[in-house]
Amino acid sequence: MKFKFYPRESRIYDFLQFPRLLYSKEEFEKKKEDVNYQNILIEDYLSFVSKIEDRLKPFADEIGKFYVNQYLSDYDFIDLISRTTGIMGFQNEKDYLDMLLSLDEYDIRKSIVHSIMLINDEYPDDLHETMKKANEICLNYEDIISFIKELPIEAGAKWNFFLIVEEPLKHMKIYVNLMKKLLPIFNEIYTPYEKKVKDYGEYLVEFLNNNGAKGLEEITYSIVNINIFDEKEINIFISIIFSYALSIITAKTNYIAWGLRMEEAFKKMKEINENKTLERVQIFKNLGDKTRYEVLKLIAAGETSTKVIAKTLGVSSATISYHLNNLLTSKVIKMDKSNNKFGYAVDYELLKNTIEGFKKDLNFTK
């Protein structure tokens, strides 16, 4: 297994994610409420995204048609399109935007439906079946509308999708025009970090290629296990836009979007959890949230589909994703792969040790 870093694609990935920072203040305020993030995020990064948010505010109405707060929906327009089109092999941002304009109505609708089905694990064991079903839905406009109606997302985000699938070419043109207006701002912000991204990407893949499974486990504090990857070559993008995020993207070509400061964040998690008292407090705080506790119960019962968990608990998929991220950072669950799909598994050994430590702290034996 080999890791490979893609600097051009890293830049395109960040360009496509860039408008989402319009919602950064609201999202970080939400994260600050959680113990998992209080000691991890660095003030200079918060300042960085706050400045970008200010630059994006004049375009808020246009951005709101295509990007949403992550606590309202998992489905950003361009995330869905890029999962199907892929972003590998494009020379630059303009090259990718030109490709978007070449898509026809059917291509756009199919990308949206197919990507949502992938995210929701509609046919987790058969990607061909997922594509086949997406093709069938997109042949009939009423079937697309019914499909969107069933999505567990906020009404405003759902309405935007109705508008997009009704006139996909019109909305794609609006989106591309928006991104062309934002490109000079993105260039101004990204260019000073370009060498840092390149240097870190080259360092990271060299470290992982030299140290293999042990190195991946070491650098991610055991949250990511190499056994979840089947590919002979693992593609890595480095992100400055989401410096404190690690995402495994199932797309036309699978890749890991690795935040520029994730290694730093993993070290902070390790420092916190090496203090066993703090580790227990962090775990109990996670389990003290009723919804999060119900999510954990469903994972323990074998359910890993975000859509199914959201429907079972009567909340949005975005809310479930938020709780899953917190359970991951506290190490209550781990990333796993079963039946050829990514999922989660309860870390029973950690919980067992936590309970034993709790009993010892409170002198249960006496």
pLDDT tens across 189-212, in order? 999 999 999 999 999 999 999 987
Residue 31: which of 46, 17, 52, 16 has the closest Cα? Answer: 46
The three state secondary structure string of 24-68 is HHHHHHHHHCCHHHHCCCCHHHHHHHHHHHHHHHHHHHHHHCCCC
Question: Is 275-358 a domain of CATH 1.20.1430.10?
Answer: no
Q: Which residues face 161 on adjacent strands?
A: none
Which of 52-61, 109-118, 158-167 is predicted most confidently? 52-61
CA-to-CA distance for 242 and 255, rounded, in angstroms? Answer: 15
Residue 9: which of 180, 254, 245 has the closest Cα? Answer: 254
- The contacts of residue 11 (CB under 8 Å, 6+ apart) are 92, 93, 190, 194, 197
**pLDDT above 90: residue 339:** no
Lowest-confidence segment of 14-23, 25-34, 334-343 by average pLDDT: 25-34
**pLDDT above 90: residue 61:** yes
Average pLDDT, the chain: 83
Q: Can you give the residue ranges of every domain in the chain?
A: 2-262, 275-358
pTM: 0.78
* Tens of pLDDT, residues 220-277: 877 676 666 666 788 999 999 998 888 878 777 788 899 998 888 888 777 766 677 7
Report pLDDT for 253. 78
Do 19 and 66 meet the contact criterion of CB atoms below 8 Å apart?
yes
**pLDDT above 60: residue 122:** no
Report pLDDT for 75. 75
**360 burial via Cβ count (<10 Å: 0-12, 13-18, 19+):** exposed
Report pLDDT for 229. 65
Using DSSP, state whether 285 is helix, strand or coil: helix
**pLDDT above 80: residue 354:** yes
Whether the CA torsion 339, 342, 120, 348 is positive or negative: it is positive
What are the helix (H) ranges across 123-193? 127-138, 141-149, 155-166, 168-190
Region of 314 please: left (phi>0), alpha (psi -120 to 50) or beta: left
Q: Where are the beta strands (DSSP E) in the chain?
A: 2-5, 233-239, 246-249, 255-259, 333-338, 341-346
CA-to-CA distance for 276 and 102, rounded, in angstroms? Answer: 55
CA-to-CA distance for 333 and 153, rounded, in angstroms? Answer: 25
**pLDDT above 90: residue 98:** yes
Using DSSP, state whether 101 is helix, strand or coil: helix
CA-to-CA distance for 144 and 257, rounded, in angstroms? Answer: 30
Report pLDDT for 190. 96
Q: Is 29 or 68 the better-scoring residue by pLDDT?
A: 68
